[in-house]
Amino acid sequence: MTTIFHVTDLHLRQALPGHNGHVHRLSRHMPSLLAKLAERIEAVAPDLVAVTGDLLDVPHALLDREPGYDLRALTQGALADYWLVRRWLESLGRPWMVLPGNHDHGPTFDVVFGSEPVTRHFGPLAVHAFHDWEQAGNQALRIGTPRRHFEQVIAAATEETDEVHLQHFLVRPHVDYHYPLLYGDADDIARRVAEAPGRRLLLSGHWHEGTPMVQLGNALMGGCPAFCEPPHRYRVFRIEPGQPVAMQEEELGASFSPDTRLTILDRPGLLTLPPGTASRLTPRPDMGRIVAGLAGMGHLAIASPWHAPETDAATWRGVQYAHDAFFQDLPANVGQADALCIYLPQGEQPGRRLPAEAITREPELVPRLAALFGIAPAEVTLLTTDPARRAAAVAAGAASPDLGGPMPDGEAILAAAGL
């Protein structure tokens, strides 16, 4: 029997600054969550640990090579973070396979992982990893080297073939979503793996909610939920010749201890200067002191309104550029916030430019973040200059001191938080 431990979509950031705009992707907590996961892996004692892409959450400015950003520093951050993932994999003391996803950065991924084999054998079972990339319109295609690999694998299949295909994007089942989740050539891949002789198991990531496993001819396929999101799920597959594949989905559970303190810092007026250049969030001079002080108290989430003058006209990607640059402006010796929560005023609709599930409505700021972090609202402090948001936080059971004025002094902010 071969046991495969499948985990996907880590979206890790450590040396990389900032945070994904989806607040529930706990990029900055991956090292501690991976340490807990290592204990589960040790208990399962799998033959293979497979990580199917989005290892890192690389800022879009680097992926898009956007001018005006410090791409050199972002590249160094990505390299350091890939080495962090690689050291974790090697610490497991078991065979592992990884492949990139659409949030990975090809050049640095290849420096750290490019030399790893894309096929491994476990007795009669062969495991193939396909390093596919998104093409036009964010739609992945199996072309070039991975396509040639796929064609060879399919051509060589016999009735005795027993194999696993690892890939980031979905082949099946269909998921209705505004962003492409399936390969552009998913119909072709699905037909070929279903019709080829022998048997194959296709393990994907990418769709963070995960899918059931579906049988299509000779192939069983589906996507594992993203590990970066609570409750941090993963799957264990047990494969034995002549037997149906057995799958077990498990989870780490709560991300944090319930008595952890959470400070939510409302960005406008507290961390950035009044709007100047469009789409740029200009940090106040003492931003590093404020973030370092608050981060030392427990968890720190930055709340940032979508309908701010600096971001109102931006696309979702533009908003993420702006926040990545803002986090990159923190001094190197200052920690980063644990989460970024982009929110909409009450009654506003996200509209077509925004991924609806990423957006928190203003009155839900405290309840949603408290639930996400597994913390009671009484452990939460919201620091804001907006009276309506303060009132909503207090109504939700959180503390929200009056900071008295549109641009409070940094020391006054820290004092209000209890420092």
* Chain positions contacting Fe ion, by CB under 5 A: 9, 54, 101-102, 206
| Identity of the residue, 182 or 265, whose beta carbon is nearer to Fe ion in the bound complex | 182
Closest approach, Cβ 24 to Fe ion, in A, equals: 12
CB of 121 to Fe ion, least distance (A): 28
Phi, psi of 233 (to 5 degrees): -95, 155
Burial per residue of 290-325, b for 16 or more beta-carbon CB atoms within 10 angstroms, e otherwise: bbbbbbebbbbbbbbbbebebbeebebebbbbbbbb
Least Cβ distance, residue 30 to Fe ion (angstroms): 12
For Fe ion, which is the closer residue by CB, 5 or 207? 207
CA quadruple 364, 387, 349, 339: dihedral, nearest 10: -50
- For residue 132, the minimal CB distance to Fe ion (Å) is 11
Question: Cβ distance 206 to 169 under 8 Å?
Answer: yes
**Smallest distance from Fe ion to CB 33, Å:** 15
Shorter beta-carbon distance to Fe ion: residue 59 or 101: 101
Q: Residue for token digits 């991956």?
A: 30
Sheet hosting strand 246-251, strand order edge to edge:
96-99, 48-52, 2-7, 233-239, 246-251
Residue whose CB is less far from Fe ion, 99 or 196: 99
Instruction: Give the sign of the dihedral formed by CA 263, CA 266, CA 269, CA 273.
Output: positive
Residue 228 or 370 having the CB closest to Fe ion: 228
CA 337 to CA 29: how far, in whole Å?
11
Q: Please work out, in degrees rounded to the nearest 5, the angle formed at the alpha carbon of residue 191 by the alpha carbons of 189 and 196.
A: 95
- If one counts every other C-beta atom within 10 angstroms of the C-beta of residue 345, the result is 14
Q: How many CB atoms within 10 Å of residue 207?
A: 22
Min dist CB 87 to Fe ion, Å, is 22
Q: Report in angstroms how near the CB of residue 316 gets to Fe ion at its nearest.
A: 15
Q: Residue 164 belongs to what H/E stretch?
A: strand 162-166
d(CA 338, CA 349): 26
Q: Measuring CA to CA, which residue among 292, 303, 271, 287 is closest to residue 381?
A: 303
- Whether the Cβ atoms of residue 198 and residue 163 lie closer than 8 Å to each other: yes
Query: Which is closer to Fe ion, CB of 54 or CB of 379?
Result: 54
Return the number of the residue (99 or 396) whose C-beta is nearest Fe ion: 99
Other beta carbons within 10 angstroms of residue 333's beta carbon come to 7
Instruction: Report CA-CA distances (Å) from 197 to 160, 253, 410.
Output: 8, 40, 67
Consecutive H or E run containing 4:
strand 2-7
- Provide the 3-class DSSP secondary structure of residue 243: coil
Smallest distance, Fe ion to C-beta of residue 52, A: 9
Taking the C-alpha atoms of residue 353 and residue 10, their distance in angstroms, rounded to an integer, is 25
CB of 166 to Fe ion, least distance (A): 14
Residue closer to Fe ion (CB basis): 9 or 163? 9
Residue 207 Cβ, how far from Fe ion at the closest point, in Å? Answer: 8
Of the pair 28, 206, the CB lying nearest Fe ion is at 206
The beta-strand segments (E) located in 34-135 are 48-52, 96-99, 119-122, 125-129, 133-134
Q: In terms of CB distance, is 83 or 133 closer to Fe ion?
A: 133
Question: Which residue's Cβ lies closest to Fe ion?
Answer: 54
In the complex, minimum distance from the CB of residue 11 to Fe ion, in angstroms, rounded to a whole number: 6
Give the residue with the Cβ less far from Fe ion, 102 or 328: 102
